[in-house]
Every structure is written in structure tokens, then in C-alpha cells.
Amino acid sequence: MARAPAIPGAVAAVLATYPKRIRARLLEVRELIFATAAASDVVGELTETLRWGEPAYLTAASKSGTTIRLGWKESDPTRCAIYVNCRTTLVDAFRSWFPGELSFGGNRAILLDEAEAIPTEVLTVCINAALTYHHSGRPPARARRRIPAASRARGSSGGGERGGTHRLLEGRDERTGAPRPGAPSIWRIVHLVSSNGGGRGSVPFIGRKRAT
């Protein structure tokens, strides 16, 4: 996983005001945001700044996505939030993609409990969809799974389909996760097959206009 850059002073100052366990969770999410951006060939360099007094991550260079913001409220002291623009369809899509796997705040936030490990694989999908929202277009409303190949190739744990390791079989190298020459666009359907005999599901790969 690519290492995130040093935290800007203004952002670090805000994070320092959060409770220790909340800060630890948000720093994990921050690492995941930068790693997801680095794995994409459309997102480019992220701008890390403050929006509404909270850490925010913008695709200012490529304009490929919508802003992701991280926050915590004293009124909900044991949970932190990953915010996206409430005018997007992202949270509705996340609810459809991962029913029962994530908690949400209205139509703009994923909520994470300070005491629980972050669902890395699931969050990678959600972060990738946000960072490529304007490039890829509105995400489809319903699907069984959408797991970016970068996440699968890293062997990320937590969140995704339970009970087995999965392999991308179509359009990507099974060992490295790298796209094969001539692989079609992001809405191509691939298949995930569980190593313990689990079911097969259609999984569009989000975040690359064309795998090359």
C-alpha cells in the first residue's frame, strides 16, 4: 500500500483535537484514501485541506471525483464519519451495494465505530467511487459486489464477502491484479470466485475509464 504524505499542519491540528481512538480510526481512513487514489490511473494527486473545519480530500488536479471529508461530533462521541456531498447518489449506492455491512448518517456519511476495525475492502470500494464520481458517472443503483482490483490484489481484509479469498478472473492478471492488455472499460463485468466454494457474482470494477 502506498504511504500517505505528511499531514498538513492545519489538518494535523484538527485531528489532534479528536479523542485518541477516533483519531486512530480517521488516520486509518486517511491512509486508505491516499492508497486508493494511488492505485487509480484517473484520480491523480489529492489535495488535503480543511472544509467546514474538518479534514478534506479533493481531486483538484484531475477533477475526477467529489470531496471526501472526515469528521467527528461530540454528540456522537464513539463514532466518526466519512462524508461525501449529499447531492451525489453515493450513499444511496453504498446502501444498495453493502446492505447490513456499513452504518450511515442520512444521505451524506458512512459512520465508523471507534471500537471496531475498519472494513478495509468495503471502504476501498466506497472511497474509489467517490474519488472517481465525476469521471465514471453516477454509480449504478444496484449490484452484488464492486471490489476494486487494487484492493483484491493487496489481499485487504475486513468488510467484503466473508468466508474466503477471492480472485478477479476476467481482464486482470490473477497473481498481480494488473490489467491485461486490451481489457475493456470500467463497467465491464468480472467475476469473483470464492476459494472455499462460495458463489459467483457480477462485479463492475469502478475507478478506471479504461484498463490498459
The reported pLDDT for the residue numbered 94 is 96
Per-residue pLDDT of the chain (212 residues; tens, 9 = 90+): 668 999 999 999 999 999 999 999 999 999 999 999 999 999 999 999 999 999 999 999 999 999 999 999 999 999 999 999 999 999 999 999 999 999 999 999 999 999 999 999 999 999 999 999 998 765 655 443 444 444 444 443 333 333 322 332 233 344 433 334 443 333 222 222 222 223 323 233 333 333 33
Burial of 137 (0-12, 13-18, 19+ CB in 10 A): exposed
d(CA 126, CA 60): 19
Domain boundaries in the chain? 9-136
Which pLDDT value is given to residue 139? Answer: 63
Rounded to whole angstroms, how far apart are CA atoms 189 and 103?
27
pLDDT at 1: 61
Which among 16, 19, 24 is positioned nearest to 78, based on CA atoms?
A: 19
Q: What is the DSSP string of 51-105?
A: ETTEEEEE-TTT--S--EEEEE-TTSTTEEEEE--TTSSHHHHHHHHSTTT-EEE
Alpha-carbon span 69 to 82, nearest angstrom: 6
* Residue in this structure with the C-alpha cell 492505485, named with its chain if needed: 39
CATH number of 9-136, picked from 2.120.10.60, 3.40.50.970, 1.10.4080.10, 3.90.1150.200: 3.90.1150.200
